[in-house]
Amino acid sequence: MNQKKRRHYRKKKHTVLKVISIIFVLVIIAVASIAYAAYRHVESTFSTSYENFPKTTSIDLKKSKTFTTLIIATGKNNSKNTAYATVLASTNVKTNQTTFMNFPVFATMPNQKTITEVYNTNGDDGIFQMVKDLLNVSINKVIQIDVNKMGSLVQATGGITMQNPKAFNAEGYEFKQGTVNLQTADQVQAYMTQIDDTDLDASITRIQNVSMELYGNIQKIAHMKKLESFNYYREILYAFSNTVKTNISFNDAKTIVMSYNKALKNTSKLNLHTTDENGAKVVSQTELDSVKTLFEKSLKETGTKVQIR
């Protein structure tokens, strides 16, 4: 892989990692809105989003122990189930750091499988088991994000404006080249749709670009000094419950915000780098072992912080 392609591939990885961190910010927003007399609505939101993942390892967050979270972004692309991102995060209150380890979903791992293939066969459970087996670590929490429903979050947070590199039509909408303004969930869904078999890479890029603009919206909300109306937060909470499934309960979320707040704000990223073998992207055993060692370091409650790789 030449240097230009390698830099481009790394840039996409960093984009996905930033997108995934949206969920942690949303948790903070949800709990913060309690102060705005929305306690019951927030609690209801987490109840709606809650899903039991029986293979996870239980942990007492009230003891401020380091915990792991598997974050999976999936959806349908041209009627096909697709895993867009898989990240394992460790949140360590002792080092005040959250470390994200990114798994390239289309690359062949040392077990000769890709995450996309495993997802198509065994769904979220298959990804869970694959990550657990590759790293030999316990997974405490799971967050599953439905990419196809991100439009509801875009709409709830005020819409987005972005650059569209190529004009196209989808689901009754015309998207001209240049600046596009996406305000409704239906507009966003149409914009992210894969038009045909030749449009896969472009559609994934559009999904990533929408995600980054949404991330910007969430950042602005998180830093608001003035509270908006009750309905404003209610719509965001509804969109959250529509887009996310997780075994993070309402009480878990409150504990995370109170005890792990600094760790969530201080993030580090670990990327599994790939090599080209006969036109396919491959993660070697040596590469996996190297990044695995760094991730294990992030779980320790003593020592130095993990640096970006």
Mean pLDDT of the 137-157 span: 91
Q: Summarize the confidence of residues 279-289 as an average pLDDT.
A: 93
Is the model more confident about 239 or about 24?
239
- May I ask the CATH class of domain 17-299? alpha beta
**Hey, how many other C-beta atoms are within 10 angstroms of the C-beta on 165?**
10
Query: Tell me, what's the pLDDT at 119?
Result: 93
Q: What confidence score (pLDDT) does residue 9 get?
A: 47
- Count Cβ atoms below 10 Å from residue 32 Cβ, excluding itself: 17
**Per-residue pLDDT at 34:** 39
Average pLDDT over residues 12-30: 54
pLDDT at 6: 46
For the chain, domain boundaries: 17-299
Mean pLDDT of the chain: 82
Mean pLDDT of 275-290: 93
61-100 pLDDT, tens per residue? 999 999 999 988 888 876 778 888 888 999 999 999 999 8
Predicted local distance difference test score (pLDDT) of residue 199? 79
Q: What is the pLDDT of residues 104-144, one digit of tens each?
A: 888 999 999 999 899 989 999 999 999 999 999 999 999 88
- Three-state SS string over the chain comes to CCHHHHHHHHHHHHHHHHHHCHHHHHHHHHHHHHHHCCHHHHHHHHHHHECCCCCCCCCCHHHCCCEEEEEEEEEEECCEEEEEEEEEEEEECCCCEEEEEEECCCCECCCCCCHHHHHHHHHHHHHHHHHHHHHCCCCCEEEEEEHHHHHHHHHHCCCEEEEECCCEEECCEEECCEEEEECCHHHHHHHHCCCCHHHHHHHHHHHHHHHHHHHHHHHHHHCCCCCCCHHHHHHHHHHHHHHEEECCCHHHHHHHHHHCHHHHHCEEEEECCCEEECCEEECCHHHHHHHHHHHHHHHCCCCCCCCCC
Higher pLDDT, 293 or 265: 293
- pLDDT cut 90: percent of the chain above it: 40
More confident residue, 183 or 51: 183
**What pLDDT was estimated at residue 204?**
75
CA distances from 187 to 46, 172, 174 (A): 27, 9, 10
Non-local (6+) Cβ contacts of 274 within 8 A are 1, 9, 104, 107, 281, 282, 283, 287
Residue 169 has pLDDT above 70, yes or no: yes
Look up residue 257 and give its two tokens: 């915000």
Greater pLDDT, 163 or 301: 163
Per-residue pLDDT, averaged over 279-283, amounts to 90
Q: Does pLDDT of 244 surpass 70?
A: yes
Using alpha carbons, select from 196, 73, 65 the residue that is nearest to residue 127: 73
pLDDT at 250 over 60: yes
The average pLDDT across 18-31 equals 54
